[in-house]
Amino acid sequence: MAAHRIVFANEKGGSGKSTTAVHTAIALAAQGRRVAAIDLDTRQRTLARYLDNRAALAKRDGIELPTAVYDTFDPAKGMNIEERLDALAAEADVLVVDTPGRDDEHVRVAISTADTLVTPINDSFVDLDLIGQVDPDSYKIRRPSFYAELVWDARKARGKRDGVTVDWVVLRNRLQHLEARNMRRVAAALGELSKRVGFRIIPGLSERVIYRELFPKGLTLLDLGAIGKEAGLAHVAARGELRELIAGLQLPEAGAARAQAA
């Protein structure tokens, strides 16, 4: 594989998956990496629409913004998922894949080709239930859920096929209204489950109005200076979260994945 593949996957909607995928793609492009992105949610197209908006703004205002080559996967047009992923990856250093909030055959293929699998979840037991069932009295993990088993099987198959160890990252996006005790219980349950199932936990993004405001223009937190918008304290804090997120992914240095594939 020519590119390091980062697949954002979560069968539950509302976890900030597409927002995180877009910001990751743009942050890596801003580092000088060649980034390709593909949206597997043919109906909603959040990632693709975000990048459409970004391209339109850059063209209208005559400004240069770091971006990614991108496409929307559409099986109705006869696209083959593996071929499309390979074609985009062949011309990039990093391939970002955004998936719909449901289980289907194309999502499973994407997961099976991931180098880094990112599962964003909100800090709540509703989201945690996606990957682990929790005892209602002790808040201890009873057993992994269906999605964790799906990922486990995909990682085993990948290891047998080409010897690659998939780095599974659970991204804790934070809902600011949650009280501290509940967040500690979620953190403890996640920590227990990570040891049993084999994923890393890294901090994600807080729930902020700024993300919804930036979408219509296709902008990210990294673009405020380029468009002459002053950054308030909330913007500065959010950019800090984004930088911490990118560092937590622990991606290969630019060009390292391509050199290994050569």
Give per-residue pLDDT as tens, 141-156: 999 999 999 999 888 8
Checking if the pLDDT of 256 tops 70, the result is no
Token pair in block for residue 187: 């953190």
- What average pLDDT does this structure show over 170-187? 78
Question: Which of 18, 67, 23, 69 lies closest to 45 in space, CA to CA?
Answer: 18
Between 173 and 55, name the one with better pLDDT: 55
Checking if the pLDDT of 124 tops 90, the result is no
* pLDDT at residue 48 in the model: 97
Q: What would the CATH number be for the domain defined by 4-261?
A: 3.40.50.300
Checking if the pLDDT of 158 tops 50, the result is yes
Confidence of residue 255 (pLDDT cuts 50, 70, 90): low
DSSP string, 129-197: TTTEEE-TTT--EEEE-HHHHHHHHHHHHHHHHH-PPPEEEEEEEE-TTS-HHHHHHHHHHHHHHHHHH
* pLDDT at residue 199 in the model: 95
Q: Which residues, at least 6 apart from 64, have a Cβ–Cβ distance to it below 8 Å?
A: 58
Q: What are phi and psi of 240, to 5 degrees?
A: -65, -40
Q: Which residue do the tokens 């992105």 mark?
A: 37
* pLDDT at residue 40 in the model: 97
* pLDDT at residue 261 in the model: 44
Checking if the pLDDT of 117 tops 50, the result is yes
Checking if the pLDDT of 232 tops 80, the result is no
* pLDDT at residue 112 in the model: 92
* pLDDT at residue 258 in the model: 47
Checking if the pLDDT of 216 tops 70, the result is yes
Lowest-confidence region among 100-109, 125-134, 238-247, 250-259: 250-259
Q: Which residues, at least 6 apart from 117, have a Cβ–Cβ distance to it below 8 Å?
A: 7, 9, 111, 151, 155, 166, 167, 168, 169
Q: Which long-range contacts (CB under 8 A, 24 or more apart) does 187-193 make?
A: 187/123, 188/139, 189/125, 189/128, 189/132, 189/134, 189/139, 189/140, 189/141, 190/128, 190/132, 192/140, 192/141, 193/128, 193/131, 193/132, 193/141, 193/144, 193/148
Checking if the pLDDT of 196 tops 80, the result is yes
Question: Which of 207, 217, 127, 139 lies closest to 174 in space, CA to CA?
Answer: 207
